[in-house]
Structure 1
Amino acid sequence: MVRGPLLAVVSLPLSIVAFVFSVVSLALIPAGVGVVTTPYVLSWLQGYADARRRLVDRWSGIPVPRPYRPWPKDLRSGVVGHVERLLLRLKDPATWRDLAWTPVDMTLGFVTALLPPLFPVNLRLTRSLLEPTREMLLARRVEQLYETRHDAVDTSAAELRRIERDLHDGAQARLVAMGMSLGTIEALVERDPAQAKKLIAQARENSAEALTELRDLVRGIHPPVLAERGLPDALRALALRMPIPVEEDIELPGRFEEPVESAVYFAVSEVLTNAAKHSGAHRVWLDVSYAYDAGGMLRAAVTDDGKGGASLEKGTGMKGVERRLGQFDGVLAVSSPEGGPTMVTVEVPAEVLAE
């Protein structure tokens, strides 16, 4: 078995270099030199640990999750400076676990890698030191819940502003105009019946348009077909309204919680609308299914034969969908190479209420 000796020969100098450079760079922080070097050294240490995680996964068949805390969105985009990056590295417990792993790897790990009977013990030892602890997983979950709660509040506020704006600019304006017309009609009904009849016809038209706008507004909050007939029929009706052909394959075992159905419906609606407007596609495929693995997962995939190039960073609609799904621990994934095809996948944990 050559894996163990080969790993021992390669990892020993790398672990020594990673440990020495990290310790020296950290020690030089008070002198100012370490402030410049430490972010780069710790980034390299993290990459080295990630490489070992992938190796353990490949050789043992057991994935080793990355334990690092997610960085703020503004930092991911490169806005935050060098010192802030250093502080985030130092505040992350996973950084110190990586550093503690290197001396163990260069000593006990080196010995167990050289002896074939003990090689599995090297793999288990590495996995135990490089995977996230229970406390890390709990802290990450708390951060995710805080972020999704914040997004939920923002989404609700934005939705409320949209409803208020639509009411003010649409139905409310028409109802006010209709009230003014009725007042004029009351004054003209005896003096000028012909003009009064024209105003009555105009008021009737305004009332019909206001009713249509109110129905559209209610449909935007929660489509009646979704409440009455469930997610499959609502998605089929949505597919029929698209300006390009949509082939649908929807197989669901029953109903789900109303907020989950609503989130999936509006996610699919946004994706289909984007495909019709921006992809240049001639045909779209909608596949919706439910898997009982991992506690139950509701999945929807929208594929088009358009030009590709779509991403979550383009436009606010998809980002809004991602935030809305995040409230339910759902995810939105986009695969869209240049030239197409584009596939957008929605996954939301869900339990079947009735089959």
Structure 2
Amino acid sequence: MTSIRNWLLAAGRLFASIVTALIALVLLLALVTGFVLVPVLGLGVPVVAGALSASRVLADLHRQEAGRVLRVELVASYCSEPGWGWRDLLACLRDPQNGRDVVWLGAHAVAGIVVFWVLYALLAAVSSLAIGANGPFSVLTLPVLVLVAVIWWTVPWAVRGFALLVRLLLAPDTTLARRVEQLTESRAAAVDAQAAELRRIERDLHDGAQARLAAVGMALGLAAQAVRSDPDRAASLLEEARADAGKALAELRDLVRGIHPPVLADRGLVGGLEAASLLCPVPVALDFDLPARPEAPVESALYFAATEALANVGRHSGATRAWLRARYTRGRLTVLVGDDGRGGADPRRGTGLRGIERRLAAFDGTLHVSSPPGGPTEITMELPCALPPPDSGPSSPRTTSSSATV
């Protein structure tokens, strides 16, 4: 039953391809007519624009269907938008993807017509032989069965041929272009993140430690003036200056921890994540399996991403328990943060997850969020990195533990 259903689905797709081949032929004739009429007071511009728009819709439909047949994602790379003006027409003519669409229209029309006549001939032969057979064991029975087998075999392969034609002409290999685009976006995200971090440090220094150190200077100046005339006031000012200096020192320490936490430098990623889990108001189950410490930038990026995810668990999830896992497999370091909360986390609606995504993108990393309504939520962070094998240096043994805070 499955084979019959698949064949019927393929037959439906082939029938649709033959029908759209006729549509492709009409659009191709419309484009030729439009180009002929362009010199006549520009009358052909609307015809060409309409034909290009319809061709794009038809090509998009075939890209989607061919992607289902080939089980790959076929994407286009249009650089223009059809319009009714000369500039829009010239932009479309310079767009390589529109050129590929026009070539595909011709190839698809020819392929559809050829397949139609081949199938028509096969069906006509089967019909005539079946009518000429006098019984179930007639001499003509074997040719009929052979033709039926040929049709049975031809239909799926014809559908696959149409799909391969679409991939060849409508969806060229854009892996390199997409890779360049991803690297450009990640570089821009890294620059923006660095600029934002510098602004944060500048703001914290200006509003915190700098202001307190200025207050210390003023208090010391006033104390120097009052040390002889009013010793008690001078002592009070000195005590105030000492308190402000202590607060400035504490703010500077917090600022330094925000740049690179001491626990991360001393104990590595495993120790840093263990310490971060203790600050989460939800009990966190830990499970780490890392052969060695990653490089400091990778370690820092994953630490801050994981701590941000744990902070989101405590603030927004409504969870009763959470889990934190770290793995290293095939050159990729993976950290997973999950909880049994209400779910519904979406990077498109939250600046926290977007910030994590930008932080990871700067290292060519990825963020995957699985958070259906009602939970559970799992945030998977991956970074490519190379760790030394366990026997080439100090390693971080497998750790399985849990932490809870009340």
The two structures have a TM-score, normalised by structure 1, of 0.80
Equivalent position to 1:116, from 153, 165, 168: 153
For 1:92 and 1:13, locate their aligned partners in 2 and report how far apart those are by CA, in whole Å: 27
Deviation at 1:22, TM superposition (A): 5.1
Equivalent position to 1:235, from 273, 294, 311: 273
For 2:25 and 2:386, locate their aligned partners in 1 and report how far apart those are by CA, in whole Å: 51
Equivalent position to 2:69, from 52, 55, 60: 55
User: 1:180 maps to what in 2?
Assistant: 218
CA spacing shift, 1:311–1:180, aligned 2, 3 Å: same
CA spacing shift, 1:99–1:118, aligned 2, 3 Å: same
**Other structure's SS at 1:215 match:** helix
User: 2:366 maps to what in 1?
Assistant: 331
User: 1:346 maps to what in 2?
Assistant: 381
CA spacing shift, 1:109–1:122, aligned 2, 3 Å: farther
Does residue 46 of the first structure (1) align with residue 60 of the second (2)? yes
Equivalent position to 2:313, from 252, 271, 275: 275
CA displacement, residues 167-194 of structure 1 (integer Å, 9 cap, x when unaligned): 1111111111111111112122222222
For 2:381 and 2:309, locate their aligned partners in 1 and report how far apart those are by CA, in whole Å: 10
For 2:99 and 2:313, locate their aligned partners in 1 and report how far apart those are by CA, in whole Å: 42
Equivalent position to 2:230, from 192, 209, 213: 192
Give the AA of the match of 2:64.
D
CA spacing shift, 1:344–1:107, aligned 2, 3 Å: farther
**Is the CA contact 1:39–1:85 (under 8 Å) kept in the aligned structure 2?**
no
User: 1:76 maps to what in 2?
Assistant: none
Deviation at 1:34, TM superposition (A): 5.3
Segments of structure 2 that go 5 or more residues without pairing to the other structure are 36-43, 120-149, 391-406
Deviation at 1:166, TM superposition (A): 1.0
Give the AA of the match of 1:116.
W
Q: Who wins on radius of gyration, i.e. which is larger?
A: 2
Does residue 298 of the first structure (1) align with residue 316 of the second (2)? no
**Is the CA contact 1:97–1:130 (under 8 Å) kept in the aligned structure 2?**
no
User: 2:14 maps to what in 1?
Assistant: 11
Deviation at 1:108, TM superposition (A): 7.2
**Is the CA contact 2:11–2:155 (under 8 Å) kept in the aligned structure 1?**
no
Mapping for residues 252-271 of structure 1, pairs under 5 Å: 252-271=290-309
Q: What is the aligned-residue RMSD (CA, Å)? A: 3.6
Equivalent position to 1:289, from 327, 335, 346: 327
For 1:271 and 1:94, locate their aligned partners in 2 and report how far apart those are by CA, in whole Å: 44
Deviation at 1:19, TM superposition (A): 2.5
The two structures have a TM-score, normalised by structure 2, of 0.71
For 1:21 and 1:209, locate their aligned partners in 2 and report how far apart those are by CA, in whole Å: 78
Moved more, 114-123 or 230-239: 114-123
CA displacement, residues 65-115 of structure 1 (integer Å, 9 cap, x when unaligned): 4243499xxxxxxxx998599979984639826962634753677779946
**Is the CA contact 1:281–1:306 (under 8 Å) kept in the aligned structure 2?**
yes
Number of aligned residues: 337
**Is the CA contact 2:92–2:98 (under 8 Å) kept in the aligned structure 1?**
no
**Other structure's SS at 1:281 match:** coil
User: 1:206 maps to what in 2?
Assistant: 244
User: 2:125 maps to what in 1?
Assistant: none
Give the AA of the match of 2:263.
V
**Is the CA contact 2:339–2:376 (under 8 Å) kept in the aligned structure 1?**
yes
Identity rate of aligned residues, in percent? 40
Give the AA of the match of 1:208.
G
**Other structure's SS at 2:218 match:** helix
**Is the CA contact 2:283–2:322 (under 8 Å) kept in the aligned structure 1?**
yes
Does residue 162 of the first structure (1) align with residue 197 of the second (2)? no
CA spacing shift, 1:116–1:289, aligned 2, 3 Å: same
Mapping for residues 100-111 of structure 1, pairs under 5 Å: 100=104, 102-103=108-109, 106=112
